[in-house]
Amino acid sequence: MMDYQIINPYNNNLLGEFNYTSVKEAESALSLTENSKQTLALLCAAERSEILERLERLLAEHKEQLADLITQETGKTISDSRVELDRAINTTKACSIEARKINGELLDSDAYSPKRGKWGLVCWRPIGVVLCITPFNFPINIAMHKIGPAFAAGNPILFKPAPQNYLSAKLLVDLCYEAGIPRDTLKLVLPDIPVLSDLIADPRVAAINFTGGSQAGEAIANRAGYKKLLFELGGNDPLIIMPDGNIEQAINVAINQRFATAGQRCTAAKRIYVHQLVYSQFVEGLLAKAAELRVGDPTDPATFVGPLINKQAADVVEQRINQAVESGATVLLGNKRDNNIIYPTILENVATDSELVKDETFGPVMPIHAFNEINDIIPLVNDNPYGLQAGIFTESISLAKDLFEKFDVGTLAVNDGPGFRAEHFPFGGVKASGVGREGIYYAIREMSIQKTLVI
């Protein structure tokens, strides 16, 4: 029996199995990528851009195959998987464009006395080997948010996906090779924790780009030493509905950004705050639409909510729902489980110190809170270890600007939810939500170093 079995979370079918990357294999992969700097140095920006253009086309050609693999591996609905591939194609396109635009600046030393007659030519240069570690929930798009900018910047890459995504990750790497990324500059590795820990600590790894949980991020940071860290560590993101907001639009956003991907998104709308004046209207409309959602087989294009990634994940979500109910929460919808499927669940009167609200809950559970004064919401939003994104529905620009300054988050989306993301926008949070910013332009610079030539 091999080290890891890939099990379909919906029907428990065995999809494949593999052995973890050994110490010897990890050392070989790291040595190859570290020694490939000269290979990459021979590829000019235009050539890297053309390779990424070819990869964009290959992803489009293999869209259905990749989407099907994602659905089989993760239980994500096929409709959701297709959307992810569309985003990954756009991400790759943006990487191709930005590869040609890595510009520096020219500084005049005489801007400050004394007169020295020098120029400073500030340039961006590759940082070195980048270890890219990705989660299960967006296995192709998040991978391209790491591989694409790292390669555009001219860096060698070690790519470590979630083990559940071995099949889709292998196909992605094969497509990268077919597009023209040199084989010694990109290596797929799937080590166990001890071997991965050694890779993280190895001085030949110059940067680590990680998306995942805060505990894992802290462990990586403690092991990494003096390396560039780019972390996206999740969130407990609020969605706020004011009386002047578009209620129907807010309902649609709440459903899409909480129940899609079975709630397994770092930017999911995990805490819903609704003004008392529109609370009844919002809840009534929300319950009507949520009750109509198709739950079940993720391969059915009509299905909106499929299974969680595994039994352990479903157990955690179920436990948190039960704890909230035992502490006085009222179930408005759901609270039903079928194997790894948690049906869309809507609760009110959830205690603010419950695990369901206090921690990041990765599942299709929506706690709703009524409020009267927006100033009462600000400490509730900020009194949390996370600070990724937030959303608010309001027609008041002045209120949006005020909350933008007061909320401890990386992004505030107005008349949208915290799940909003455009591939070229900066993406990242504060506090336990991470370090640095993704988004193609920004990620390229996070995975580069500045050098200055004085002439």
Residues 229 and 242 in one domain: no
% of the chain residues with pLDDT over 90: 100
Backbone angles phi, psi at 289, to 5 degrees: -75, -40
Residues 153 and 218 in one domain: yes
**Is residue 388 in a domain?**
yes
Segment (H or E) for 153: none
Calpha distance 209→145 (Å, rounded): 10
User: CA nearest 230: which of 146, 147, 157, 151?
Assistant: 146
**What is the separation of C-alpha 401 from the centre of its chain, rounded to a whole number of angstroms?**
26
Q: What is the mean pLDDT of the chain?
A: 97
Region at 71 (left for phi over 0; alpha for psi -120 to 50; beta for the rest): alpha
User: CA nearest 27: which of 35, 38, 19?
Assistant: 35
Residues pairing with 121 in the sheet? 106, 453
Find the catalytic residue in 73, 232, 318, 423: 232
Segment (H or E) for 337: strand 337-338
**Is residue 353 in a domain?**
yes
DSSP state of 387: E
Residues 305 and 394 in one domain: yes
Each residue's pLDDT tens digit, 85-116? 999 999 999 999 999 999 999 999 999 999 99
Residue 72 structure tokens: 């089989």
Residues 274 and 403 in one domain: yes
Domain span at 443: 4-233+433-454
Residues 396 and 293 in one domain: yes
Q: Is the pLDDT of residue 1 over 90?
A: no
**Is residue 182 in a domain?**
yes
Backbone angles phi, psi at 192, to 5 degrees: -80, 180
Residues 24 and 143 in one domain: yes
**Is residue 139 in a domain?**
yes
Residue 53 structure tokens: 């253009």
Alpha helices in 360-447 (DSSP H): 374-382, 397-406, 440-446
Calpha distance 21→161 (Å, rounded): 12
User: CA nearest 138: which of 102, 86, 103, 94?
Assistant: 86
Q: Are strands 186-188 and 448-454 parallel, antiparallel or unpaired?
A: unpaired
Number of structural domains the chain divides into:
2
**Is residue 118 in a domain?**
yes
Each residue's pLDDT tens digit, 36-80? 999 999 999 999 999 999 999 999 999 999 999 999 999 999 999
Residues 140 and 272 in one domain: no
Residues 259 and 332 in one domain: yes
Q: What is the mean pLDDT of residues 203-222?
A: 97
**Is residue 427 in a domain?**
no
The confidence score (pLDDT) of residue 30 equals: 98
Residues ≥6 apart with Cβ < 8 Å to 30: 129, 158, 187, 199, 202, 204, 205
Task: Report, in this order, helix, strand and coil percent for the chain, each rounded to 5.
Answer: 45, 25, 35
Alpha helices in 193-331 (DSSP H): 193-201, 214-224, 247-259, 276-290, 311-326
Residues 438 and 408 in one domain: no
Q: Is 232 in the active site?
A: yes
CA-to-CA dists, residue 145 to 32, 87, 209, 299, angstroms: 23, 10, 10, 26
Collapsing DSSP to helix, strand or coil, 29 comes out as helix
Q: What is the mean pLDDT of residues 9-14?
A: 98
CATH number, position 258 = 3.40.309.10
Residues 193 and 254 in one domain: no
**Is residue 102 in a domain?**
yes
CATH number, position 91 = 3.40.605.10
Residues 272 and 135 in one domain: no
Residues 217 and 247 in one domain: no
The confidence score (pLDDT) of residue 50 equals: 98
**Is residue 428 in a domain?**
no
Each residue's pLDDT tens digit, 352-377? 999 999 999 999 999 999 999 999 99
pTM of structure = 0.97
CA angle 437, 189, 206 (to 5 degrees): 45
% of the chain residues with pLDDT over 70: 100
Each residue's pLDDT tens digit, 424-440? 999 999 999 999 999 99
Burial of 122 (0-12, 13-18, 19+ CB in 10 A): middle
Collapsing DSSP to helix, strand or coil, 80 comes out as helix
Burial of 245 (0-12, 13-18, 19+ CB in 10 A): buried
Is the Cβ–Cβ distance between 385 and 365 less than 8 Å?
A: no
Q: What is the dihedral of CA 288, 420, 139, 237, to 10 degrees?
A: -70
Calpha distance 283→277 (Å, rounded): 12
